[in-house]
Amino acid sequence: MKKIHVFDTTLRDGEQSPGVNLTTDEKVKIALQLEKLGVDRIEAGFPASSPGEIISVKEISRQVKNASIAALSRANKKDIEAAREAIKGAATPCLHIVLATSPIHRKYKLNMTKEQVLETAESAIRYGKKYFDNLEFSLEDASRTEIDFIYEVVHMAIKSGATVVNLPDTVGYASPETFGTMFKKIKENVPGVENILLSTHCHNDLGMATANTLAAIYNGVDQIEGTINGIGERAGNTAIEEVALALEMRSDIYQAKTDIVLNEIYPTSRMVSKLTGMMVQRNKAIVGDHAFSHESGIHQDGMLKEPTTYEIIRPEMVGVSSSTLVLGKHSGRHALKAKVRHLGYNLSQQELNELFQKFKALIDKKRYVLDEDIRLLIDEQYVNEESMFTLSDLSIAYPGNESEITVALTDRHQQTVQTTTRGNGAIDALFQAIDQSINTEFILEDYKIQSNSAGKDAIGEVHVILDNDGKKYRGRGFDTDIIKASAKAYLAAVNRFYEEQGKQPIESNAYKFSI
C-alpha cells in the first residue's frame, strides 16, 4: 500500500470560510486534535495576514510535537519573513509558497507574464530555501493553467529546491477525468518529479473535491490537502475524512492509505464544527448526523438481518458509537467517564469533574440525559473561558402583549451591567438588551435554532451570525431554555468580536454594579 501524506489546512483554508475567526486557544485545541488524528502536516495559518495570526501560528508551533507545521506565504520576501518568524519554533517547519500560474490570474490578478511568474516563483523559492529544508510550492489555479507551462513551473520549482509541489484546483473547476490526466502527464513529462512529493488541493465548487482528489491519487500524487468537514473558501475544500475512508474502503482500487486514525475522525469533526460554528450538514458523508441512520422499512429489515446489507462503514470505525449505558439522576463519575470514552472523547480528570457538575445540573432539568446531551455539554466546554462577557441573569415578562427582557451581563472584571428592554418578541428584546448593555450595535444576519436531543425538555442549540461594519461573527449557545440558548449564542459572537478586535467595551448607560 502506498502511503498518502495528509496536509491539513483546516486552520488556514478552513478559516477562510466566511464568518470563521478562531482564537489562538481554539486553534491550538484543533491543532492538537489534528495531531492525534494522525495528519502529517498542519497548515497553521498565513502569518503575513496579521500580527494575531503570527501569534497563533507561533503557539501552535510551540505546542504541536509530532506533526510538521506549515505556514502560507505569497511569493515575496515580506511574507516569507513573517512565516519564518511564526514557525521557527516548530519541530518540523515547512514554508508553503503560493503563486498563481493560470492565464486568468496572470493577466487580471498578478499582471505578470509567464516569464515574470517563473522568475518571481524561483526567487521566492530560493530565498525560502535559505531557511527551510521543507518547502512546498503551490501553482495556484493549476487546473486552469496550460499544461506546458505547468511542466515548466514544476520543473523550475524542483530545481530551485521545493520538496513538495502542489497543484490545486483552486476554483473547483476540474473534473476527475481531466484532473487525473494532468497528474499522469506531469509524472511522465517532468524530470525529477519522482524526487519530490507531488500534492493536490481541491475545492468543492462543483461538488467534486473528493472525486478529484481520488483521481489525483489514482494518477500518482503522494500528498493530499484538505480540511475537516470540508470547510473552506466558498463551497469548501476536500473533506479529509472522506478521502481517508474512501482509501480504507476501496483499497482494491487505490492501493493507498493515509495514517489517519479513523476513530478520531468523529471527535475531530465535532470539535471543528463547534469551534468554527460551521454546522455539519446532516446528510454529510462520514460525519453527518444521518450518515449511519436507516429510516425506511426495507432498509431497517435488511439491517436487522445483516448490517452489511445497507452499511458499508461501521459507525464505530470512525468514532461514532451509541452505548446502552443510560445516564440518570443516580449515575456517578465512573458511568459518566465510560460514556464520555464511548462517545469518542478523551477528557482530563479536571474536564471530567467540570462535566460532572454540568451533568448533575442538567439532570435536575431533564428526565433522561441522552448521548447527544452529553456531547453538547462537552462541546460547550470548548467555549473560550476567557470570554469578555458571561450571562449572569435573564428574565422575561409580557406586559400588555409586549415582550420585556431584563438581562444581566458580567464582564471579566466582575462588573455586572443590567438592562431592561422591550421588543417585537422575546428574541428582538433580548438582542437589543445585550446591544444596549455593551453599547455596540450588531446586525443579526442569521439566526438558527434546533433541538439536538429528544423530548420536550431537549437541549436547544442556537446559531447566530452577527455583522459589525461588514465583519461577520459566529456564535453558538446551548440550553434547555431557548431564550437562554439565544442569549449565550449572541454573547459568544460578541465575545469573538472583542477577542478579535482586542477591544474594551465602551461604557454603557445601563445600570452597572459589582459582584
Ligand X SMILES: CC(C)C(=O)C(=O)O
Ligand Y SMILES: CC(=O)SCCNC(=O)CCNC(=O)[C@H](O)C(C)(C)COP(=O)(O)OP(=O)(O)OC[C@H]1O[C@@H](n2cnc3c(N)ncnc32)[C@H](O)[C@@H]1OP(=O)(O)O
By CB under 6 A, tell whether 8 contacts ligand X.
no
DSSP state letters, 189-244: HSTTGGGSEEEEEEB-TTS-HHHHHHHHHHTT-SEEEEBGGG--STT-B-BHHHHH
- Measured from the CB atom, the residue of 17 and 387 that comes closer to Mg ion is 17
| Residue 111 vs 296, nearer CB to ligand Y | 111
Q: Would you count residue 13 as binding Mg ion (CB under 5 A)? A: yes
Rg (CA), the chain: 25
In the region spanning residues 451 to 490, those forming contacts with Mg ion, defined by CB under 5 A, are none
Q: What's the rounded Cα separation, in Å, for the pair 222 and 256?
A: 10
Dist CA 420 CA 397 (whole Å): 10
Single out the residue of 140, 379, 479, 499 in contact with ligand X (rule: CB under 6 A): 140
Q: Is 13 annotated as a binding residue?
A: yes
Strands 415-423 and 403-411, by their bridges, are antiparallel
Judged by beta carbon, residue 13 or residue 373, the one nearer Mg ion is: 13
75 touches which of ligand Y, Mg ion, ligand X, none (CB within 5 to 8 A by kind)? ligand Y
Is 439 annotated to bind a ligand? Reply is no
Instruction: Single out the residue of 26, 74, 124 nearest to residue 499, CA to CA.
Output: 26
Q: Does 168 bind ligand X (CB under 6 A)?
A: yes
Q: Is residue 140 a contact residue for Mg ion (CB under 5 A)?
A: no
Minimum CB separation of residue 203 from ligand Y in Å reads 9
169/479 with CB nearer Mg ion: 169
Smallest distance from ligand Y to CB 75, Å: 4
For residue 449, the partner it binds in Mg ion, ligand X, ligand Y, none, with Cβ less than 5 to 8 A by kind, is: none
Which residue pairs from 76-84 have beta carbons closer than 8 angstroms and sit at least 24 positions apart in sequence? 76/120, 76/124, 77/124, 77/127, 78/48, 79/47, 79/48, 80/124, 80/127, 80/128, 80/131, 82/47, 82/48, 82/54, 83/47, 83/48, 83/57, 84/131, 84/132
237 annotated as ligand-binding: yes
Q: Are 339 and 371 a contacting pair, CB within 8 Å? A: yes
Site for ligand X in 49-108 (CB under 6 A): 72, 98
167: alpha, beta or left, given left = phi > 0 and alpha = psi -120 to 50? beta
Q: What, of Mg ion, ligand Y, ligand X, none, does residue 99 touch, CB below 5 to 8 Å by kind?
A: ligand Y
Min dist CB 204 to Mg ion, Å, is 10
Minimum CB distance to ligand X, residue 19 (Å): 18
- Tell me how far, at minimum, the Cβ of 388 lies from ligand X, in Å: 32
Instruction: Supply the minimum distance, in Å, between the C-beta of residue 100 and ligand X.
Output: 8
Name the region of 215 (left: φ>0; alpha: ψ -120 to 50; beta: rest).
Answer: alpha
Using DSSP's 3-state secondary structure scheme, residue 19 falls into coil
Binding site for ligand X (CB under 6 A): 13, 72, 98, 138, 140, 166, 168, 170, 201, 203
Binding-site residues from annotation for Mn(2+)? 13, 201, 203, 237
Binding-site positions? 13, 201, 203, 237
